[in-house]
């Protein structure tokens, strides 16, 4: 884990400290996904969040929002000071993303809705620019594997496959855990890649914490010009803190003391 990934995680911990609550495990498993998308892949203008030619990012697993908020603040969508009012009554950053926040395309967290929104956005962008020379904006949707238990995810996938939405990329944060335990016990998803292929997607699997691998596969999207893309990102719940990885007590944190914050920051810094 390089210095940038560590710095993002440490900033997430400070957001957790400020809000005294948050889904740390879900945020840490998607750090590299968000980092690569915002650093290397997506077109956007932070000073013009509704720029028509922007690529759209939807965090359907909205409980992982602390990682998204850190990226949006870093890119200039809103001041860093807003992070320190996370989950405060006088702040504008809640425990799930709200579309009123600059850089947030859709209010999410009610799981299973984000892909349907993304399909609509991708179809709308393609229709709008079908007869123009401008590039067609792309839509990136991040799903959780627990979220993928929702039938609405697969209804949306059917629509995307039908319309051959090659400007749509779905990334599954496949950390193999959800609120009630291991995904394999709660509701097994396998064979996940075959499911996406059956719905008409071009599919690739990748280590979701390998920055170079993510850059490579995202840089090649669409993987098939006649299909939407599914990227299955194999990740680790709470990646970056050894004692917390895959430990469900870190799924959601509430009322954390200063000593614990210090331990988390140090654990990230020492992570090899």
Fold classified for 3-270: Rossmann fold (3.40.50)
Spell out the domain ranges in the chain: 3-270
Q: What is the pLDDT of residue 157?
A: 98
pLDDT along the chain (272 residues), means of 10: 97 98 97 98 98 97 98 98 97 97 96 98 95 90 97 98 98 94 92 98 98 98 98 98 93 94 97 90
In this predicted model, what pLDDT tens digit does every residue of 144-156 receive, in sequence order?
Answer: 999 999 999 999 9
In this predicted model, what pLDDT tens digit does every residue of 73-131 receive, in sequence order?
Answer: 999 999 999 999 999 999 999 999 999 999 999 999 899 999 999 999 999 999 999 88
Q: What is the pLDDT of residue 134?
A: 79
Token reading at 239: 């990646």
- Cβ 229 vs Cβ 157: under 8 Å: no
SS3 assignment for the chain: CCHHHHHHHHHHHHHHHHHCEECHHHHHHCHHHHHHHHHHHCCCCCCCCCCCCCCEEEECCHHHHHHHHHHHHHHCCCCHHHHHHCCCCCCCCCCCCCCCCCCCCCCCCCCCCHHHHHHHHHHHHHHHCCCCCCCCCCEEEEEECCHHHCHHHHHHHHHHHHCCCCCEEEEEEECCEECCEEHHHHCCCCCHHHHHHHCCCEEEEEECCCHHHHHHHHHCCCCCCCCCEEEEEECCCCCCCHHHCCCHHHCCEECCCHHHHHHHHHHHHHCC
- Cβ 126 vs Cβ 154: under 8 Å: no
Rounded-to-integer distance, Cα 236 and Cα 1, Å: 13
Q: What is the pLDDT of residue 124?
A: 97
Task: Give the predicted TM-score (pTM) of the model.
Answer: 0.97
């Amino acid at each position: 884990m390089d210095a940038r990934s560590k710095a993002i995680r440490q900033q997430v911990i400070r957001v957790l400290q400020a809000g005294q609550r948050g889904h740390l495990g879900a945020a840490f498993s998607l750090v590299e996904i968000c980092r690569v998308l915002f650093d290397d892949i997506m077109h956007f203008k932070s000073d013009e969040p509704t720029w028509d030619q922007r690529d759209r990012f939807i965090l359907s697993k909205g409980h992982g929002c602390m990682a998204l908020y850190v990226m949006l603040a870093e890119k200039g969508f809103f001041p860093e000071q807003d992070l320190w009012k996370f989950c405060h009554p006088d702040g504008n950053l809640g425990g799930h993303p709200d579309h009123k926040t600059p850089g947030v395309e859709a209010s999410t967290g009610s799981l299973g809705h984000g892909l349907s929104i993304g399909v609509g956005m991708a179809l709308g962008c393609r229709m709008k620019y079908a007869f123009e020379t401008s590039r067609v904006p792309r839509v990136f949707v991040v799903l959780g594997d627990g979220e993928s238990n929702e039938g609405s995810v697969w209804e949306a996938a059917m629509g995307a496959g039908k319309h051959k939405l090659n400007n749509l990329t779905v990334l599954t944060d496949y950390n193999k855990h959800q609120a009630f335990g291991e995904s394999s016990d709660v509701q097994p998803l396998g064979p996940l890649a075959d499911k996406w292929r059956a719905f008409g997607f071009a599919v690739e699997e990748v280590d979701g914490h390998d920055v170079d691998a993510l850059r490579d596969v995202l840089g090649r999207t669409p993987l098939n010009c006649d299909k939407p893309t599914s990227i299955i990102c194999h990740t680790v719940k709470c990646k970056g803190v050894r004692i917390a990885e895959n430990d469900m007590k870190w799924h959601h944190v509430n009322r954390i003391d200063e000593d614990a914050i210090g331990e988390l920051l140090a654990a990230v810094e020492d992570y090899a």
